[in-house]
Amino acid sequence: MTEHKLDFATFLLSLAGTIHMSLGLIPNPQTGKTDKNLNAAKETINLLEILKEKTKGNLTKEEEELFDNLLFECRMGYMKCSDGQAG
* Closest of 2, 16, 20, 32 to residue 70, by C-alpha: 16
pTM: 0.86
For every residue of 3-56, DSSP letters joined together read PPP--HHHHHHHHHHHHHHHTTSS--TTT------HHHHHHHHHHHHHHHHHTT
First-to-final CA distance of the chain: 41
- pLDDT (tens digit per residue) in 28-49: 889 999 999 999 999 999 999 9
- pLDDT (tens digit per residue) in 45-81: 999 999 999 999 999 999 999 999 999 999 999 999 9
CB 81 within 8 A of CB 40: no
